Amino acid sequence: MIFVTGGAGFIGSNFILDWAAQRREPVLNIDALTYAGNAENLAAIAAAKDDGTYRFEQVDICDEAAVSALFATHRPRAILHFAAESHVDRSILGPAEFVRTNINGTFNLLQCALAYWKSLDADEAAAFRFLHVSTDEVYGSLGPDDAPFSETTPYAPNSPYSASKAASDHLVRAYFHTYGLPVLTTNCSNNYGPFQFPEKLIPLTITNALEGEPLPIYGDGKNVRDWLFVGDHCSAIALVLEKGRPGEVYNVGGMNERTNLEVVHTLCATLDALRPKPSGKYADQITYVKDRPGHDRRYAIDATKLTTELGWKPAENFETGMDRTVRWYLDNQPWVAHVKDGSYRHWIERQYADRGGADDATVEVLEGHPT
């Protein structure tokens, strides 16, 4: 069995769906179901037959007793740590939760994993892995002509979010060098794709465009990001888990640098083609808003180590990934509506009301293979 923390979130749920479609190894999804944790993302799995290969546990990663109990009960061969507060704007307004979840939560997982790892026999201990999923934002900001971030780029986080992730990265590294815990770290560029919470640029642009709302652009819109389709990120994580060298860091990038303004114009053009407005163009809704404090100008990832050492490459380019993403949101308007009106937060109670689990801190979910 593998553990996935934050598996009801955007990247975590995509990873679990991809894993379930390709493998039969059991997965335990550990998620506290905060505002961005949406168990409805995994409805395809929950609706399938129960063969014990997928479970869900509503547990806070800061809860040492609960996490330790999960290790003792399920005895995983790996833990993939996605759980994190990740929205920069929210970290500016309320940094305390980012410190709690991203730093304290990671520390607690490391402590529990270390105690569990020490209890394993020699072969099990050698095979165990703790894979920590992080971000390129820990490296700070790049100038227009700077080389992309590599695994040796010095850390220079500029927001409470990126600072909390940098701290968690350092903790993971320390547990390898101090205790020998076999850890792996991935630092990814900006993800996009199905199930992304609509506070982020791409889903916000799609949903606002369809509703006739303004399409907000920070500052001059020339902030550059390297855009990575979430499915490509998931394939990279699975490969690092399988073949990565303990103690190593692997950067994952989409090799698609675009300004925020280019991204929004691409989305508008795609919507114009797939669902045209009665009059005018979606780009007519673009509006500029005051830039956020400490807004990094450019991120870019050098994924050479991942491609040359492990043989990974993205399956999607910018155009194909954006087309797939827009089509998914157009085809899944009920999901968008549930997220925007908050009803997704009641899905877990509805799903398990007749199974006696809705009122428990721990809920088991049935396994299946998504289409």
Cα gap 211→196, rounded to integer Å: 18
Is 220 annotated in the active site? no
DSSP 233-292: HHHHHHHHHHHPPTT-EEEE--S-EEEHHHHHHHHHHHHHHHS--SSS-GGGGEEEEPPP
HSE of 337 in the Cβ direction (CA atoms, 13 Å)? Answer: 5
Question: What spatial distance separates the first Cα and last Cα of the chain, rounded to whole Å?
Answer: 22
Pairing outcome for strands 129-135 and 183-188: parallel
Catalytic residue among 137, 169, 302, 367: 137
Cβ atoms 197, 190 nearer than 8 A: no
CA dist 61 and 69 (Å) reads 12
Closest CA to 27 of 37, 36, 41, 17: 17
CA gyration radius, the chain: 20
The answer to whether residues 236 and 186 touch, using CB atoms and an 8 Å cutoff, is yes
The closest of 213, 205, 228 to 300, measured between CA atoms, is 228
Give the side-chain half-sphere CA count within 13 A for 325: 35
Q: Quote the CA–CA distance of 262 and 351 in Å, as a whole number.
A: 40
* Residue 161 is a catalytic residue: yes
Annotated catalytic residue within 54, 116, 161, 282: 161
Active site residue 226: no
Rounded to whole angstroms, the Cα distance separating 88 from 190 reads 12
Of 40, 57, 136, 316, catalytic: 136
Collapsing DSSP to helix, strand or coil, 64 comes out as: helix
Can you tell me the distance from the alpha carbon of 77 to that of 238, in angstroms, rounded to the nearest whole number? Answer: 14
Q: What backbone phi and psi angles, to 5 degrees, belong to 11? A: -75, -40
Catalytically active residues, by annotation: 136-137, 161
